[in-house]
Structure formats: C-alpha cells, structure tokens
Structure 1
Amino acid sequence: MTGSLRPSLRDPRQVMRLSRLGSLHQCRLSFMRILTRRMADEAWEFSRPIFNIAADGTGHAVYCAKGPDRTYSLVAFAHDLPSEMRSDRVIAEAWDATFTLFDGIPTADDIERLSKNVPLQEAGRIRESELSLSRANRSVRLWNHVVEVLASGHQPEAEQLANVGYLMRTTAVYGSGKFGAADREMIADRPEFSAPFQAEMLSVFLTRAFVRDLIEDAAQTKGGETAVRLDNRVARQLGIGNSTGLGMAPFIVNHPMLFNNWIMAREEALLRVRQVQRATDAEIAQFKEMLKRCSQSVSQWQSEHPLQVKKLNTLRADLDAVFSHVAKHDLSTDLPWDQLVRWSEAHLSEEGQELVNSVVMEPYDHLVDGLSNSLSDCNSDAFLIDGDMTVGALKELIQNCFGWALELDWTASENCAQAWYVSAEKLEPRIGSRFKESIAEYEQPLAPARDAVQAYEELRKWEHDKKISDFLLRHPEHRHTVRRSQISASAPYSEIQDNTIGEDILPIDMLRAKLSFFGATHFDPRSDRWVRICMFQGAPYPNELTHDNADHWVYPNLEGAE
C-alpha cells in the first residue's frame, strides 16, 4: 500500500458536519462505559444502608458506592405525584422521584436538610457536599403494568419492556456547580472523576438500582407473598430513560475545547485501530461477535419520527451490506480495519459508517481505553487571547477553520433564518424564525460561523502586520471569534463545520452528538428539537458488576447466550 493511502486522522471538514455528528454512536470511550469499567477494575463496593419507603411508595433511600479512596451516596426521594403534575419540561415543579449524589456518607442531619431541598430541585438549595441534582418521572403505563405482573407472581414480557426500555426517565441531571452543588474544579483531580460527567453517570447508575428496588417494593406491597422480584435478565433490559431538549444543544458550541477533546480522542482511537497491520484471529472473532450483537440492538431500536425511521431503515440495510462484505473479504489481510473503514465510506450512509467505526474499536481496549484520560478540558490557558498575534495570522486561522462560511451569502434569508434565544417563560434555550418572531434582539452567540465572517470582513480593513490587541480595542464585539479561532489552531475539531442558524438546521443532530459520548442508545426523536434516549440499558446492576460484564453490556447478548 502506498504511503499516500496510509491511515490518517479524518479531516474536520468531514467529521464536524452536523449530519455526521448526528449519526454518531456510543463507543469504547463513552462515559458510561468508562465508569463501569473503572468501578469493576477497582472492585468498588455497593450497599443500600437506608430504604425507608412507605406503603404508598413515598419515602427516601440511600445507595453507597465505595471506591478505593472515597464513598459516594445517592440520596433518593420518592414522591406521590398527581398525574396532572407529571411533566418532563424543565419548568415542572414536582416529580415522581428526586435525587442528589452526596460526597461521602450522609448523616441523619444531612438527609433531613436534603429532604427539604432536593424535592424542590431549582427552587431548593444544595451545598458543595452534593455533586449532582436530578429528578425522574415514571413511564406510567409500563410502571403500572410491571407492578401488576410482579404482584401476581409473574415476570413481564420481554417484548413489552423492549418497546419502552425504562421504568423511569430523568428530565434533568445537574452538576458542576448548579444550584449550589460542588464546582467541577473541586472534584476534577479525583481519578474516578477525571473523565467528563462521571459524577452524573454514577448518579444515573445508582438511580437505576433505586428504580428497580422501588418497583419491586410496590409489587410486594400490592401482592404480598404472591409477589416476585424482577428476574435479573429481565431487569437488565431496563435502563434509565432521558428526555433531552434544546437546553443541551448549545453545550457543544459553548465548549469548543472540551468538544474538540471528545472528537479528537475518538478520531485518534479510530486511527490507531486503522493502523493495525494484522488482526489476530481472536480480534476478528470479537469484531464479528460485536457486529452481530450490534445488529440485534439495532433491530430493537424503534422510533416513530419520520427522519429517524428513514435513518433506521438505511442503517439496517447498511448492516446487511457489512455482513455480506465481511463474509466475502478476508479480515486477516494487511490493514484490515482501514480497508473496512474505506469501504464503508464508499458504500454506506453516515449512520452506517459511524457504526462501523464504533464496532471496529471493540477488540482493542489496549489501544483505545487509555485515551479516556484526554477527554477532559484541563487547559484553561487556551481561553486566553494572544494579543500579539497579527491580523494576517488570525485571518489565516479563520480561513482554515471557517473557510466554508466565507463562501456563504449571509445576506440571504435562508442562511440566517434562525436565531437562538432563551425563553423567559420556559427558562430554556430555544431556536426560532428570525424573520417571523421578534427574537433577534435576544439572540444568543451560537452562530460562530456567521460571527467569524463578520470579524473577517472587519479584519480585511486592517493592515496585515497589525496586532490583534489593537484590533480588539476598536472591535471588542469580535473577542469571542478571535478566541475561538485561536483555539482552533490547536483544536482542529473544536468547531462545527455547518451553519447553526440556517433554515435547514436540525438541532437533534447537536443533541445526539453529545449524547453519543454519554453512551446513550436507541435515540428516539420526538421532533427535530428533542429526543428520548436510554442509559445503562443492558448494564449489570451494582451488586452484579464484575470485570467480565463491565464493558460490553451495551451490546445485547445473542439469543441463547447469558
């Protein structure tokens, strides 16, 4: 193979298009899998010291996770929620259950204090001893069905569980200083929280255990001696649902260095696998097994949204093509994974390509997993503006990062049709029509490409060797563009290579990009602006976690396998 065809990092102009970001799948670097692998490797211990739930299903419980150096405790509160108050909206004021992840083991006084604040969520106040704040609502129809079936001494049907995938869904999991919780900086140096969102993932992992205990307790209360507990295999089919709307979309724009690190780690992992000269028989066998298990997961993936239905049909056809290709081509040749990736780029949809990219990583924990240490953003200096940079140098950065945007006609209505703003009524980010709604004056800075073009037009009026510090004294409104452009010099995947205010934008692509790194599966858009997902579906429960089951749980076992 000639040198020009050697594997290399993919071009940001390919990777960072919204349609591709909206086709990403979980992989070995997903935050949930990082957490479960670490807990198993370090032999974390789990306990439930308190479970005070009354006959009406209300009360509180505490779940402890003990690592090598520290213990963390989920403090859970169960509520009697009238059906008319059940809402997944951020403006809801009551929920079926509320939670906080406590740093340590809470005392009775701590629990008393938390009982007066955690159920109130935003209206309450927590302290630095709390690492996250969250809430969840029941999937009412499935919840009632499972209680009835267990109370009568039977197990719920697997197909009915698979159609929903969860008994409760979170509507928000807050961390990083929100509402008084500990700032990220307070825990960033702890090894167990070095990767992004590990405290939040731990909270959801323990929440899933609480939900199982809560529904089994409800069945026991209803059925008495006749009631049975969920079979372990049945219970593992149930994850924690999540409803995610536009509030998450701005994150990947507002955190360019962090998002770059996520994408860069994934791209480096893919490159390392593509550079494998020869795959062993064991590696080939594991890839084929994971491909089959992945296909089973896709067969269980359901959605009623027309766009996702189309993508799923295409993905299933893509998988058929992959199986056919793998059956006809020898994976024991030179650079087998690079050849497979190149073939996928020529024959599959973006959804299919990115699924292949995830699955080829599975046999290579020794090449991939260490990259989890590079996912966080620890470089605060990257946000400092280099005022000594020349105008000419900055223009070159803008050309490299936003060259595609310089070619757009930003006076055309279709290229600036949308505007991002924060709804005063809903307290959530929103996107609306710039020309049909009176929102332009409330626009949020979430159009970096347009802003880069505006800055570039001003820079063209300046001499090539003038300093950026002088430019910004005259034009402070372009500070954010200067900063983002300078960040892009060392962070090639920091910017979305698409128009975030164009008339054709699909915000769900931005949501899926972030959620795929969480490790979410079975994305189910409910519109082009919010999506339901499932977290930890298939994962072992805390008391089942071992080194053997801590990683590949995301792929369902094949029929007949344990």
Structure 2
Amino acid sequence: MDRPLPHPDRKAALPLRPPSEVMRLARMGSAHPTRLSFLRVLLRRVRNEGWRFDRPVWEVDANGVGRAVYRATGPDRTYCLVAFAHDLPDEMRSDRVIATAWDATFALFDGEPTVADLDRLQANVPLQEAGRIGPTELSLSRANRSVRLFNHVVDSLAAGRQPNREEVDAVGYLMRTTAVYGSGKFGAADRDAIAGRAELSGPFQAEMLSVWLTRAFTVDLAEHLAAAKGGSAAVTLDPEIKRDLGVGNSTGLGMAPFLVRHPVLLNNWAQAREVALARVRALPEATPEAVACFRDALAAADENASLWRSEHPIQIAKLADLRRDLRLVAERTADWPAGEALPWDALWRWGEDLSLEGQEALFALLLEPHGDLVDDLADCMSADEASAFRLDGAMKVGALRAVLSDHFGWALSIDFTAPENAARFWYVSEEKLEPRLGNRFDESGAELEMPLCIARLAVELDAALASRPANEPVAAFLLEHPDHRYMVRRAQIAKDHPYAEVQDNLIADDMLPIDLMRCKLAFFGASRFDPRSDKWVRISLFQGEPYPSDMNNGGTA
C-alpha cells in the first residue's frame, strides 16, 4: 500500500534537503542504519504486539545435520522458519552465487508446517534455485558458517569456557547468508499475496523476520554441537557475547540495480528519512531524556566504529573519517544544549562540515531519541508501484521537457560521447540470471545492456523531444518513438516523486556499485560494512539486537 507522507513538521516548518544533495551516490554510499531501517521496524512491531516465539521442532543430530522449526506467533497469524542444517565439506563452501551447496538452508513458511510440508521442503529447499517452493513459502535463503569463528565457539563451549571476545568482535557472526529470496522467486508467494497484512506490509518485513529467526538458529546449532562434543562439561553462550553476534551477509552486484528499478519505492524510503530529519530539526528544545538517549546512541556508534574492521582502501578511509567525526560530535555536544534556539537544527547545521560518513552517522543519531516523532513514517515506506506505471499520454511535449529540465538537469549536462562517461554497461549473466557490470570498451556484450543508466536515457529523450512541437501530446510522440516509453514513464514518476532517481551517471568509469548496495543495506538495518571490492560487500544484521526468545520476556528494540 502506498501511503502519502504526513506533513514534515508537526510544530514548525523546515524544508527537506533537496534531492540534488540527498540522492548522490557518494552520500548514499555513506548511509547508516536508523530507527526507520526495516529490521528495527520489525523488532518494534513484535515487541509492541507481544509476539511469542518458540522452537517446536529440533531434529538435528550430533554431526549438525537435520531440520528445525522456529515459530513466530503474532496477534493475527503465525509464521515459521524451517531450517535445514547440512554437513558441508570445506571445499564446497562458497559465498558466490554460483554455489550449489551450503551449511544451512531456510524457508519462511506462512502458518505452521505439517510433517508432510517439512518433508516437501526438505526435498527442495536445500537445492535452492534447483528446487521449487510454493505459495505457502514467503522466502528462500541459505547461509554458510564463518568457519574460524564458528569452530572456535563450538570448541570453546564444548570445553566449558566462553569464546575469546576479540575473536567474536573481529567477525561478529557465526553464519552469513548469501541470498534471501522473496516476492515470488522460485515459486514463493508473490508480494501481492501478503502486502495487505499489517505485519508484512512494510518493505522486506518477511525477509527481515527470516534473517532474525536464522540468527537464533545459528546460535542454537553452535550450542548443540558443543553439547554433543563436550557432554556435561559444555556450557552455553554468555548472554552478552550472544547479543553481540548478528547474522552476516555476503552481497554482490545482484542487489545493486534494485534501487534503480523501483523509483517510487526509493522515493518513499528516502523521503521518509528526510521528513524524519526535518521533524527533529524543527523541535524547539532538547529534553533531558532525548539528550541522554542521544549520548547513549553516540557511545554505541563510537563502540561500533572502533570494532568495525575492513581491509578495503575505500572503507579504511571512510572508517577513519567516521571515527574522527564521532569524536568531533562528542566534543561538540559535551555541554550541549547550551540555550541554543532549535538545538537539534543547530547541531545538524554544525555537522554539515563533517565528512559524508560523519554526516550520515549524525543523521542516525538525531533520529534515535525521537521514536514518538518519527516512527510513524515507517508506515509510509511501502509503495503501490503499479499505480505509477500508467503513462499520461495527454501530457504535452513542452510539459515533459520542463519535467526533464527540472528533475533531470543533473543528467542533461553529461556528455555521453566522452568515453569516461559511457565506460560501463549493465547486463544479466546467462549463467545465473544475475545483474553484472561490464567494461564497454574492453568486453563484448554491450548489445545486451540493461536500461539502468537513467541519465543517458534522459539525455536521449530530451534530444528526441527537441524537434517536436511543444503542444504535441506525448502519446503522439510515443507512437513514433516507442523506444522512449520507459524514460517518459520515469520522468512522469519523478514529477511527483522528487527522490525517485539516483542523481549520478551509473555507467561512468568511476562509478562505485557498492554505493548502491550500501544504501539499500542501510535501509535494511545493516552495519559493519566491509567491502571486498567495489562490487562485493559483507555486512552484519541484527548485531546487538535482542533475540526472538528475548521478546518473550519483554525485550526492547
């Protein structure tokens, strides 16, 4: 459901940051998770609605092979993660999408599976793409162990001691997912089938629930193997160490085009964030409770930054910026607020001199104390994309050119005859049907290019319109030039959705796909971004957050 965003400010009016500032790759690639991130939205819902969690099935042997079911019972419906544990030889373990075997595979089941359902899933889910699931399955996923840490934890617990904290902090998860598929893939339920459910209407709520329950499975499996190995001498994980373990994720180029393909959704995500920031900046005072929460969030961000590791040159530099800027924020707020008018706005304006990494971290910090003011915006982040699909053929060419000038001026200034501005091309690999990025002047296949460079399409459309009469209906133009329908539609979408476009050249030689990936992952709620190249990143989900069993005892989110 596409819900209109509320007015940005309940008490005073402050303008939103312009798309020309917000929707640039460098800033998007510096995004941090916020309380509007999708996993935080899920955790608040299950806490507020009193969901109950248990594990009705645990059929895993001493070698760590078998199946388990994790049940989540909400006020209206029940969902179950069906997990399959495998004995995977080391030489078969791979994070690449072309892998055919994994340490664990999963399906999120709509309702409670029968034994027959479990048997059917056991015959298909471990095969992943090679198997088939049905409309009772909401997601399909797989995960591999972080072998060194997983074995260290099992061996330590089996010997009756806790794992080394430095080892835990260095990795941060026992398993990492390499794919979480939903929305109709491989036979799973279509998005339309669940979009009307309150608990799943928000973006990626089924996938977040699946990953959260997977986190519980990873710890349970490690403790189970430790008990099998150590017998009565074995111990379970210390709660503090357990809380510091998330679920890793290894993500490649397959994720990058999503934000380009879903302009209305991207607009709603970005605009909700901007409305939240405007609301906070408009507050006339900083209450002691909000200031205390801000300081707690700053301390947590500082600790996270100190533990965050990467060997990639880009992220090493960004981490240095982040750590420096968090120290500057701490210095700036040591005796803050000190009688400033609009203190949150003053803090934000001061922070505009920080690096992009620091600015985006400050963004998250400003939102954290103000759940009562901003959390309702999570209800505005889904989208009815079908409603935006229809073309307005009655629009006049002159009006369309004005839209291009107003909303795509950033694109019209790019010279695509310059090789550096057209150096890349996006295509779909024949082997895995996944998006890939090629070098136009060094590789073949450019004739199979996907229409992901919106900037070039805008330039081509504007050139085609230049000779047309201003009062000509767009429908007449498209009858002669149907190849421009896609870009006309995007221009008409942008007219009413100002944050719908990534305002950068996505085929430039210096474009970093990882910026798109980090932006989307930050919306998910990911942390500890660790690029392995400009096309592949590892992250952590739910690190530091409660487990499902904690919610049974009133855990906080």
- Give the fraction of aligned pairs with identical amino acids, expressed as a percent: 58
CA pair 546-51 structure 1, distance change in 2 beyond 3 A? closer
Find the counterpart in structure 2 of residue 261 from structure 1.
268
Structure 1 distance, partners of 2:258, 2:385, is 18
Find the counterpart in structure 1 of residue 501 from structure 2.
495
Find the counterpart in structure 2 of residue 120 from structure 1.
127
Q: Which amino acid in the other structure matches residue 142 of structure 1? A: L
Find the counterpart in structure 2 of residue 424 from structure 1.
430
Q: Secondary structure in 1 aligned to 2:105? A: strand
TM-superposed CA distance for 1:10, in Å, is 0.3
Find the counterpart in structure 1 of residue 342 from structure 2.
335
Find the counterpart in structure 2 of residue 46 from structure 1.
53
TM-superposed CA distance for 1:425, in Å, is 3.0
Find the counterpart in structure 2 of residue 560 from structure 1.
none
Q: Secondary structure in 1 aligned to 2:254? A: coil
Q: Residue 240 in 1 paired to residue 247 in 2?
A: yes
- Give deviations 1:46-80, integer Å, cap 9, x for gaps: 11111000121100000100000111000000011
TM-superposed CA distance for 1:262, in Å, is 0.3
Structure 2 distance, partners of 1:280, 1:161, is 37
Find the counterpart in structure 2 of residue 67 from structure 1.
74
Q: Which amino acid in the other structure matches residue 80 of structure 1? A: D
CA pair 217-332 structure 1, distance change in 2 beyond 3 A? farther
Structure 2 distance, partners of 1:335, 1:122, is 54
Structure 2 distance, partners of 1:394, 1:218, is 63
**TM-score, normalized by length of structure 2?**
0.96
Structure 2 distance, partners of 1:185, 1:134, is 20
Match for residue 209 of structure 2 among 192, 202, 205: 202
TM-superposed CA distance for 1:550, in Å, is 2.9
CA pair 265-121 structure 1, distance change in 2 beyond 3 A? same
Find the counterpart in structure 2 of residue 434 from structure 1.
440
Structure 1 distance, partners of 2:88, 2:356, is 42
Pairs within 5 Å for 1:102-251: 102-251=109-258
Match for residue 450 of structure 2 among 409, 429, 444: 444
Q: Secondary structure in 2 aligned to 1:89? A: coil
Structure 1 contact 447–499 (Cα < 8 Å) conserved: yes
Pairs within 5 Å for 1:363-512: 363-512=369-518
Structure 2 contact 264–493 (Cα < 8 Å) conserved: yes
Find the counterpart in structure 2 of residue 325 from structure 1.
332
Q: Secondary structure in 2 aligned to 1:193? A: coil
Structure 2 distance, partners of 1:426, 1:124, is 15
Find the counterpart in structure 1 of residue 366 from structure 2.
360
Between 1:423-432 and 1:123-132, the stretch displaced more is 423-432
TM-superposed CA distance for 1:7, in Å, is 2.8
- Give deviations 1:283-303, integer Å, cap 9, x for gaps: 122112211221111111111
Structure 1 contact 114–126 (Cα < 8 Å) conserved: yes
TM-superposed CA distance for 1:280, in Å, is 1.3
Structure 1 contact 90–427 (Cα < 8 Å) conserved: no
TM-superposed CA distance for 1:383, in Å, is 1.3
TM-superposed CA distance for 1:322, in Å, is 1.1
Segments of structure 2 that go 5 or more residues without pairing to the other structure are: 1-11
Find the counterpart in structure 2 of residue 278 from structure 1.
285
Structure 2 distance, partners of 1:194, 1:471, is 38
CA pair 403-547 structure 1, distance change in 2 beyond 3 A? farther
Q: Which amino acid in the other structure matches residue 447 of structure 2? A: E
Find the counterpart in structure 2 of residue 84 from structure 1.
91
- Give deviations 1:256-277, integer Å, cap 9, x for gaps: 0001100000000000001101
Segments of structure 1 that go 5 or more residues without pairing to the other structure are: 552-562
Matched length: 546
Structure 2 distance, partners of 1:374, 1:527, is 34
**TM-score, normalized by length of structure 1?**
0.96
Q: Which amino acid in the other structure matches residue 424 of structure 1? A: E
Structure 1 contact 91–427 (Cα < 8 Å) conserved: no
Q: Secondary structure in 1 aligned to 2:271? A: helix
CA pair 215-329 structure 1, distance change in 2 beyond 3 A? closer
Structure 1 contact 40–547 (Cα < 8 Å) conserved: no
- Give deviations 1:490-543, integer Å, cap 9, x for gaps: 110000111000010000000000000000001000000010000011111111
Between 1:20-29 and 1:372-381, the stretch displaced more is 372-381
Find the counterpart in structure 1 of residue 3 from structure 2.
none
Find the counterpart in structure 1 of residue 7 from structure 2.
none
Find the counterpart in structure 1 of residue 6 from structure 2.
none
